[in-house]
Amino acid sequence: MDIEEKLKVIERGALEVVTKDELRRLLEGKNSPRTYVGYEPSGKIHLGHMISVTKLIELQNIGFDVVVLLADLHAFLNSKGSLEEIRKTAEYNKHCFIALGLDEKKTKFVFGSEFQLDKEYTLNLHKLALETTIRRARRSMDVVSREEEDPKVARVIYPLMQALDIAMLNVDVAIGGMDQRKIHMLARDNLPKIGFKAPICIHLPIIHGLDGSEKMSSSKGNFIAVDDDEKTIRTKIRKAYCPMGVVENNPIIEIYEHIVFPRFERIVIKRPEKYGGDVEFNSIDELKKQFENKEIHPQDLKDSLADYLVEILSKAREYLASKGY
């Protein structure tokens, strides 16, 4: 596969690459670039995670070395439980990522506590703190923390550690949702000031929660987990937010776009003959147009989506069951 073909794979489905020129130079100069995603082990792995996992698999298939950071210390700073409890969740998360298709033999899974307590890491964290203003650090915090009147210092340390992780793991390309952009830009601006390279950043879409809220999240219960059984999937999809004719911020449409269409050349929405019979789509744009024109009923869209998700997640459920989850 030549560089142009690799660039198409990398950019497919991404909202932004910072920067494309740097990415091209990386591919021209390095046979096995290193990429990563950091995941806070704080609950179930769900469809929202699948977008970044899918991108990691795509990059793994074109020769990238893949690192998955199971950020247990980050979860601890975010009050997600004791380190022992978080470690158990991290082990479960690791198996979920393998179940979704990451090659266990080719993927390096790293627990944050394996290196974030080392002397070198701590010293570099202090150096990064010297280069980062409180305003910049607070701007990089998650939405909930930014809205707190008096957040704990741990919430400020969190984004600095996340930026430093990129350097200490020797990452060329950092991947994350658009909600990670501020942290990635902090890393690009301030890591070179303490002697590290600026990472290339790939930003991916974020799926809205099934209740229509801003983000699918295990803490909000508005998700479909990779180990949900068929009955649970169908029940959750049936109850999901999907107003007639509304495409924007519609989780059902987003799941078709980011989870289903990347895996099938065409999809079929099944309908009773009295309502027009089955209808086929070769692209998300075709589906969006017909739904926006109210030619497809939300319930038909949901029922067919449930069928696809049951199929997509079947192997993941089988693998996790074999591991006792």
Q: Is residue 83 a contact partner of residue 47, using CB atoms and an 8 Å limit?
A: no
CA distance 163 to 147: 21
The predicted pLDDT at position 138 comes to 87
The predicted pLDDT at position 214 comes to 83
Per-residue pLDDT of the chain (325 residues; tens, 9 = 90+): 899 999 999 999 999 999 999 999 999 999 999 999 999 998 899 999 999 999 999 999 999 999 999 999 999 999 999 999 999 999 999 999 999 999 999 999 999 999 999 999 999 999 999 999 989 988 887 755 566 778 888 888 999 999 999 999 999 999 999 999 999 999 999 999 999 999 999 999 999 999 998 899 988 889 999 999 999 999 999 999 999 999 999 999 999 999 999 999 899 999 999 888 999 999 999 999 999 999 999 999 999 999 999 999 999 999 999 999 8
What CATH code is assigned to 3-204?
3.40.50.620
Enclosing H/E stretch for 61? helix 47-61
Where in the chain do CATH 3.40.50.620 domains reside?
A: 3-204
The predicted pLDDT at position 223 comes to 96
Partners of 108 in the beta sheet? 67
The predicted pLDDT at position 146 comes to 61
CA 244 vs CA 158, 168, 302, 312: distances in Å: 40, 48, 12, 26
The predicted pLDDT at position 152 comes to 86
Q: Which CATH class is domain 230-322?
A: mainly alpha
Where in the chain do CATH 1.10.240.10 domains reside?
A: 230-322
The predicted pLDDT at position 150 comes to 81
Residue among 224, 248, 228 nearest 237 (CA): 224
